[in-house]
Amino acid sequence: MNFPAKRWIESQPRAATRGSEHGAVHSRPLRESILEKMLKTKGISSEQRENFLHPATKNLAPARDMHGMVEAARLICAAVRAHRKIAIYGDYDVDGVMATAILWHMLRALAPTLSVRTYVPHRIEEGYGLNRDALRTLRDEGIEVVITVDCGVSAVDEARYAQEIGLELIITDHHELKASGEVPVARAVVHPRLGDTQHFGEQCGAGVAWKLATQLMDEWCGAADSAHAAGSQTKRPQVLLDRVKSLLPLAAIGTVADVVPMLSENRIIVARGLPGAFDTGIDGLNALLDSSRVEPRTMDAEKVAFRVAPRINACGRMGHAEDVVELFTTANASRADEIVAKIDELNTKRRADERAIFESALEKVHARLAECGSTDPAQKPRGIVVWDDAWNLGVVGIVCSKLVDLFACPVIIITRNKEGWKGSGRSIKGIELHHVLEECSEHLQHFGGHAMAAGVTIESEEKVKAFRDAFVKIIDRQLPPMEEQRPTLDIDCVCSIGELDIVGVQEIAKLAPFGRDNRKPVLLIEDVEITQSRHFGKSFDNKPPANLELALKQSDGGKDKFLRVQWWNGAPHASEFVKGMRIDVVVEVGLSTFGRLPEVEARVLDLRLSVVSHAGARA
- CATH for 458: 3.10.310.30
pLDDT single digits (tens) 5-32 = 899 999 866 544 444 455 555 444 456 8
The reported pTM is 0.90
Q: What per-residue string of b and e applies to 459-495 under the rule 16 or more CB within 10 Å gives b? A: eeeebbeebbebbbebbeebbeeeeebbbebebbbbb
β-strands 411-417, 420-426: how paired?
antiparallel
Q: Are strands 493-494 and 523-536 parallel, antiparallel or unpaired?
A: parallel
**What was the pLDDT predicted at 618?**
52
Nearest CA-CA partner of 77 in 251, 246, 176, 215: 215
Q: pLDDT at position 15, please?
A: 47
Among 161-165, 435-439, 525-529, 589-593, the least confident range: 589-593
User: Phi/psi of residue 264, each to 5°?
Assistant: 50, -125
Identify whether residues 445 and 471 lie together within a single domain: yes
What per-residue confidence (pLDDT) applies to 420? 86
Q: Which tops the pLDDT comparison, 45 or 417?
A: 45
pLDDT, mean of residues 211-225: 91
* Domain annotation covers residue 469: yes
User: Of residues 561 and 618, which shows the higher confidence score?
Assistant: 561
pLDDT digit string, tens, across residues 360-391 = 999 999 999 999 887 776 688 999 999 999 99
Regarding whether 502 and 475 lie in a shared domain, the answer is no
64 and 45 co-located in one domain = no
The reported pLDDT for the residue numbered 28 is 45
Is a pLDDT exceeding 80 seen at residue 414? Answer: yes
The pLDDT, as a whole number, for residue 32 is 81
Q: How high is the pLDDT of residue 514? A: 97
Domain-ending residue, one of 218, 236, 254: 236
Helices (H), 64-111: 69-81, 94-110
Does residue 245 belong to any structural domain of this protein? Answer: no
Cβ(447)–Cβ(423) under 8 Å?
no
8-state DSSP, 319 = S
CATH number at residue 591: 2.40.50.140
Kindly indicate the confidence band of residue 616, based on its pLDDT and cuts at 50, 70 and 90.
low
Position 100 in a domain:
yes
- The kind and range of the H/E element at 453 are strand 453-458
Q: How far apart are CA 293 and CA 174, in angstroms?
A: 31
Looking at the fold, whether 101 and 30 belong to one and the same domain comes out as: no
pLDDT for position 301? 97
Question: Which of 236, 255, 287 is the last residue before a domain boundary?
Answer: 236
In this structure, the answer to whether residues 567 and 585 fall within a common structural domain is yes
Residues 386 and 463 in one domain: yes
pLDDT at site 18: 44
The answer to the question of residue 346 being in a domain is: no
Q: What is the pLDDT of residue 16?
A: 45
Please tell me the distance from the alpha carbon of residue 14 to that of residue 25, in angstroms, as a whole number.
12
Please report whether residue 145 resides in a domain. yes
Domain for residue 403, yes or no? yes
Omega into 4 within 30° of 0, i.e. cis?
yes
Alpha carbons 61 and 268: distance in angstroms, whole number: 11
Please give the single-letter amino acid code of residue 252: A
Q: Which band of pLDDT confidence, cut at 50, 70 and 90, is reported for residue 75? A: very high
Using CA atoms, how far apart are residues 17 and 495, in angstroms rounded to an integer?
Answer: 10
Total domains in the chain come to: 3
Per-residue pLDDT reduced to its tens digit, 507-549: 999 999 999 999 999 999 999 999 999 999 987 777 789 999 9
pLDDT tens digits, 421-477: 999 999 998 899 989 999 999 999 988 877 888 889 999 999 999 999 999 999 999
- 413 within a domain of the structure (yes/no): yes
Q: Are residues 68 and 34 in the same domain?
A: no
**Do both 441 and 559 map to the same domain?**
no
Q: Check residue 181 and give left, alpha or beta (phi > 0: left; psi -120 to 50: alpha).
A: left
pLDDT above 70 for 96: yes
Same domain, 452 and 360: yes
Q: Are residues 389 and 500 in the same domain?
A: no
**pLDDT above 70 coverage of the chain, percent:** 93
Q: What is the pLDDT of residue 379?
A: 80
Same-domain status, 478 and 503: no
Which of 421, 451, 484 is at the close of a domain? 484
User: Beta strand pairing status for 559-567 and 547-556?
Assistant: antiparallel
Q: What is the residue range of 218's domain?
A: 60-236
Q: Same domain, yes or no, for 478 and 597?
A: no
Mean predicted lDDT score pLDDT of the chain: 91
CATH of the domain at 67: 3.90.1640.30
**184 contacts: CB under 8 Å, gap ≥ 6:** 152, 153, 154, 155, 156, 158, 159, 160, 169, 171
